[in-house]
Chains A and B, each alone.
Chain A
Amino acid sequence: MEQTEVRQKVLDIIADVALDEDLSNLDDSLALRDQLDLDSMDFLDIVMELKKRHQIEVPQADYPELATMDSCVTYLTPKFN
C-alpha cells in the first residue's frame, strides 16, 4: 500500500474520532495533539480502530510513533503491507 493510501486510512480514523475538528489544514509534520483537541482516550480510540478496521496491533510502547501524521505513515505503512 502506498503511503498516500495509508495517510488517507489514518485520516479516516481521525475524522471518526475527532468528530468536531476540521482536518483540512492538518500539518503532517506537527504533533496531532498540538493541532487537534485529542486526549488519551482519543488515542486509544485510534489504536482500537486500527485493530478493528485493519487488524493492526500497536503495542503501548509504540504509541509515540502515532504523534504526527508523518510518523503515523512511516510507522504504519509496513504494517499495512
Chain B
Amino acid sequence: MATNSDANRIVITGIGLTSPNGNNLAEFRNNLLEGVSGIEHMEIRHMGKVAAGNCNFDEYKYLKKKMRKRGTRAGSIAVYCANEAIVDSGINMEEQDKDAIGIYLGITEHGNVETEEEIHQLYQNDLKTEFWSHHHNPRTVANAPAGEVSLNLGITGPSYTIGAACAAGNLGLIHGAQMIRAGEVQWALAGGISESTHTFGIFAAFASQGALGSDEDPTMATKPLDKDRNGIVVSEGGCVYVLESLEHAKARGAKIYGEIIGYHVNSDATDFVLPNSSRQIECMNKAMKKAGLGPDEIDIVNMHATGTGQGDIQECAAVREVFGPVANTHINATKGYIGHCMGAAGALELAGNLPSFEDGKVHGCRNIENLDPECAIDGLVIGAPVEKEVKTILNNSFGMLGINSAIIIAKYN
C-alpha cells in the first residue's frame, strides 16, 4: 500500500453499528461470543411468515420525528450508526471543518422499500397517481442514506453511496480509506447500510431462486456451511466507521481499533449470481500482497458464507486453497447469528471480529450441526469461541454480478 508515512496509514477510530443482535459493538460482540441469534419470524406483505433479522435501535436517538418520516429506513440506520461512531471516536463535531469530512456508505440496493410501498399505496388508491408521494424521488435516489447523514450532521463534504451488492460494506471502508489517502477529506464516515427486510421483493426473489433460508426455529433458518443449509436469511443492519489517517488520529489522541493494511476488489465476469472461486482466491491473495503478508500471517478470515448451497462451497474452495495449508489461520462466519445484512454485511462482520485484538478470542460459526464435507476447512471455528492472539483479520465480502472484496485490518501497536 502507498507509503508508510503516518499521513498514508488509515486507522479505524470509531464504530457505530446496529445489527439484529446488538445496537453497539459491545452488545454485538458479546452476543457473537455467547452464541445469541438475532433472527426471528416476521410477517411480510404477500409472503406471510419469513425468517428475518431486524434491528431494534432507537430511531429517534439522533433523528427528529419529521425527518424520520420524510426520509428512509436506510437513512435512519445510517444516521444512528454515524452518530454512534462519532460519539465512540471522541470527535467533537463543533470543532470540525464540516467540508473536510466524507460520508461513504456501501449499499446493496436502495429504493426498493420505498417503491414497493408507493406501488402498494397506488393500488389502495385505485391507481390514481395524483396521490403518489412527492417524497418518492428524494427517498429513492441512490445517495439517500448518505445524504440523510449529511443533513443530520451538517456535513458539507462529499456524501454518497457505493453500490456493490453484498460486497458493499467492505467497499465503503475501502473507498473511505482511498479518499483520505488521496487528500480529498480529512476523515470519513464509512461503512455499509441495509434496510432490506422492509421489502417483500428480496425475500420473494430469493425464494424463487431456491435460496431463501427457512426453519421452524427462526434462529436455525440460515446455516452457513452446514450440510442441511437451505438458504439466506434477509436482514437489515448498519455499521459506520470513523476512518482517519494515523497522523490525524495521533494528533487528537484517538483510540485506535485497527489499521487498514490491505484490500482488493475484483470482478468474476462469469455469472449474475454464482460466485467464482478463482477470482475470490485472486482477491484474497492480492489483498495480502498489498498488506505485505502471507497467508500464515492472517489470524482470522471472516467468510462471506451466506448459507446457499453453491455459494458456500465455492467460497470454501477458495479459502481452503489459500488458507487450508496454513496452521495459524482461524476461520469464522457471522451470518448464522444475524442473517445476511446485505450492504452492511461486510462492515458489520468485520466489526464483530475487531475486538479479537483486545480480548484474544475468535468467535465461532453458529448453526453448524452437521458440517458439509465440501465446506470443511482446517481452522474453521465452530460453536464456542477459541482463545488466540489476534493481530490480523481478513474480511471477505462478495456480491451478485460477481463483485469480490477482501479487506485486511491489523492490530495497531
Within 8 Å CB of B135, what residues of A?
41
Within 8 Å of chain A (Cβ to Cβ): is B217? no
Shortest CB distance B144–A (Å): 14
Within 8 Å CB of A52, what residues of B?
131
Of all A-B residue pairs in the complex, the 3 with the closest CB atoms, nearest first, are: A19-B65, A19-B66, A20-B64
Does the CB pair A51–B131 fall under 8 Å?
yes
Within 8 Å of chain A (Cβ to Cβ): is B120? no
For B66, B69, B70, the residue with the greatest tally of chain A CB atoms inside 10 Å of its CB is B66
Within 8 Å CB of B66, what residues of A?
17-20, 37, 42
Does the CB pair B131–A48 fall under 8 Å?
yes
A-B contact count (CB 8 A): 22
Within 8 Å CB of A51, what residues of B?
130-131
Does the CB pair B65–A20 fall under 8 Å?
yes
Residue on A nearest B130 in the bound complex, by CB: A51
* From A19, A44, A48, contact of B69 by CB (8 A): A19
Contact residues on A (Cβ < 8 Å of other chain), bracket: 10 to 19
Shortest CB distance A49–B (Å): 10
Residue on B nearest A42 in the bound complex, by CB: B66
Say yes or no: A48-B133 contact (C-beta < 8 A), given A19-B69, A41-B70.
yes
Distance between Cα atoms of A20 and B63 in the complex (Å): 10
Distance between Cα atoms of A65 and B243 in the complex (Å): 49
Residue on A nearest B138 in the bound complex, by CB: A41
Within 8 Å CB of B130, what residues of A?
51
Q: Which of A10-55 contact B (CB under 8 A)?
A: 17-20, 37, 41-42, 44-45, 48, 51-52
Distance between Cα atoms of A63 and B224 in the complex (Å): 57
Within 8 Å of chain A (Cβ to Cβ): is B134? yes
The digit string for B66-95, where 1 denotes a CB below 8 A from any CB of A, is 100110000000000000000000000000
Does the CB pair B65–A41 fall under 8 Å?
no
Within 8 Å CB of A41, what residues of B?
70, 134-135
Residue on B nearest A17 in the bound complex, by CB: B66
CB pairs A–B below 8 angstroms (22 shown): A17-B66, A18-B66, A19-B64, A19-B65, A19-B66, A19-B69, A20-B64, A20-B65, A20-B66, A37-B66, A41-B70, A41-B134, A41-B135, A42-B66, A44-B134, A45-B134, A48-B131, A48-B133, A48-B134, A51-B130, A51-B131, A52-B131
